[in-house]
Chain A
Amino acid sequence: MADTVLEVRNLKVAFPCSGGVIRAVEGIDLDIHRGECAALVGESGCGKSVSALAIMKLLNTPPAVCRADKLQLDDLDLTHLPDRQMERIRGKHMAMIFQDAMTALNPVMTVGKQIDEIYLRHSRLSRREARQRTIKALELVGVPEARSRANSYPHQLSGGMRQRVLIALAFACVPKLIIADEPTTALDVTIQAQVLDVLKNMQQVHGVSALLIAHDLSVVANMADTVYVMYSGKIVERAAMQELFVEPLHPYTHGLLASVPRISDDRQPFVQIPDAVPHPMRKPTGCYFHPRCPRSSDQCQQRMPRLESLDHEREVRCWHPLRQPHEVRS
């Protein structure tokens, strides 16, 4: 499809370590269209960050082992691209926003210099021109007094301001794709909403495609068009945001949704999915979710279900989804 900005096929990441292999990502497929915001949602440790880093080709190999049948960014085939050429693409065509801006910014360099660097790297600008762009970029994400703030060190800014700096950094070259790895989890709830607004605004103004990573659905609800639900290294459900909210099909998604507290809905008590994610080195047989699943059967314990499409734009990996494929919705 010409309109696909990111196409990932069968992405696998493993970490060999003493006592076994951690299979962090077990063959995921992603398709993100132009201007679309896709969300990757799942509990802590399910492999979201590792997937993001693998797409950016930022994992250190070794120790990580990465495989993908296809990794295509717009018209660029990244599947077997050597590191030297990846350096020209990172920052310019694809960028990443990290979770904790405090640790993601170099503590001994002013934030302005850190943004200058990306302009100096990817366009033929003088230092002066780069700094002017930097100030503009900071103004765009709502940093007041951008000119003087550019000379601050990260620790001199508030958490929200730092996260804005990271957003400015990611959008600096207006890339084709932005990956935001839990961009707000390190922030206070009130600041979270502001930063998400900035992110959403930037994404829509520039028409950039985005992959937004989060561990619960409430964060992505206002922003994402499509949602990929990930569990223990595998995609278990894919659906448009609206449909997923109306009708989750995978028991895990159902649990995730039920654990989002909703003000309007006080009939159901706050539900928590029991137990924890399986240890990445000792995953259960069959469906990885079966020890925690209320619908699990013998079949679930023996064989891993495939990711089947339902309707046209939905996929689910479950033997007993909440609605069977043949049931046609009105």
Chain B
Amino acid sequence: MKRSYVIKRIVYAVFIFFVVLTLNFFIPRIGVQDPAERYYPPQGGMSTIEYEIIKQFTREQYGFDVSTFQQYVRYLQGLLRLDLGTSLRSGSPKVTTLIAQRLPWTLVLSVSTLVISLVIGLLCGTLAAWKRGRWQDTLLLNASTISVALPSFFIALMLSFYLGFRLELFPAYTNPNMVAQFDWGWGAIRMVFTNAALPIMSMSLGGIIGYSQITRNSVIAVTNEDYVITARAKGLPQATVLYKHVLRNALLPLATSIGMNIGGLIGGAIIIEQVFNWQGMGTLFLEANSTKDYPLMMGIMLFLSAFAILANLVTELLYVILDPRVTVGDKR
């Protein structure tokens, strides 16, 4: 039954999310050091009593004054109110506020990267499969060999240097002061062709080649299936066979890999964002890391995990529409 499959997937996703948030809570607490001491190391010229008062005050402020279990309950209660806690930076901003501020910037990069790599990857992969063994195919093979050897930050640096500084085609970095004023709508679209162009290019390259490879291999595998011969035996023209019988089946493995990539896409932006001084989630995470801002780090981690789990769930549910066989049970 379709519905039982859908329910099963959703329950499973919720379960995984629960496991993740629990780990996310407990792992940072494995450290034996008193967090208050970590934030305020003992300084000279302060009496023991004064220091104890400060530590106690700090514990209360950050919620370490109760048992770990109580902290866990509080953490869960906070989550229910969509509250990820308070950052340690000055002004004590809410973690959710910080994430909300940076998220659109990362979304611009990752959504356009996904769309661009999918569209180009599909076209190139199908072409390579169609022209199997000819130069188009060989080109793809060589390109993927090279791209495996080139890390994405290297590509980012090269693009930034040549297209950004030398040719001045696109801005090579972004002014950090722009963060607060994200403009949904035309502003975001214009950004794709200006400030975001180089980061998107650097991030897309690997995706284009990855999706091309998957598409190529899966199209070739499907081309040899019996039902494709049946379709040709019916007298259908080549293009119809490719479009109606080959691609529809060849896209199934692609759907799975998209689901797995979406989660990584936001995380993968960390390095690229650094290269272009892009004020997204990646940069936020690195900032949190260098200032030992644990609530912020935990918040970002949890958010990214939730995003990845959600992306996987969506692809799994998409499968129900794409592949009628899924309804029989868990066939994969």
The interface of chain A, by Cβ under 8 A from chain B, is 53, 56, 58, 83, 87-92, 95-96, 98, 100, 103-109, 114, 117-118, 121-122, 153, 155, 166, 169
The count of chain B contact residues (Cβ–Cβ below 8 Å) is 23
Complex CA–CA separation, A153 to B245 (angstroms): 14
**In this complex, what residue of A is CB-closest to B248?**
A108
B121 smallest CB distance to A (angstroms):
21
Contacts A153-B324, A155-B325, A155-B328; A104 near B236 (Cβ below 8 A): no
Residues of B near A103 (CB, < 8 A) are 225-227
Residues of B near A122 (CB, < 8 A) are 235
Q: Which of B226, B235, B324 contacts A90 (CB 8 A)?
A: B235
Contacts A103-B226, A107-B227, A109-B248; A117 near B236 (Cβ below 8 A): yes
Complex CA–CA separation, A104 to B252 (angstroms): 18
Complex CA–CA separation, A155 to B324 (angstroms): 9
The interface of chain B, by Cβ under 8 A from chain A, is 225-227, 229-238, 244-245, 248-249, 252, 322-325, 328
Do the beta carbons of B233 and A106 come within 8 Å of each other? no
A-B contact sample (17 more), CB < 8 A, given A91-B233, A109-B244, A117-B231: A56-B233, A83-B238, A89-B235, A92-B235, A98-B226, A100-B226, A103-B227, A106-B227, A106-B230, A106-B245, A106-B249, A107-B324, A117-B244, A118-B235, A121-B236, A155-B325, A166-B230
Residues of A near B229 (CB, < 8 A) are 53, 58, 98, 104
A78 smallest CB distance to B (angstroms):
13
Contacts A87-B237, A153-B325, A155-B324; A98 near B230 (Cβ below 8 A): yes
Residues of B near A108 (CB, < 8 A) are 248-249, 252, 322-325
Contacts A107-B249, A107-B324, A108-B323; A88 near B227 (Cβ below 8 A): no
Residues of B near A109 (CB, < 8 A) are 244-245, 248
Residues of A near B227 (CB, < 8 A) are 103-107
Residues of A near B226 (CB, < 8 A) are 98, 100, 103-104
Residues of A near B237 (CB, < 8 A) are 87
**In this complex, what residue of A is CB-closest to B222?**
A106
Residues of B near A107 (CB, < 8 A) are 227, 249, 323-325
B321 smallest CB distance to A (angstroms):
10
Residues of B near A56 (CB, < 8 A) are 233
Contacts A106-B245, A108-B249; A121 near B234 (Cβ below 8 A): yes
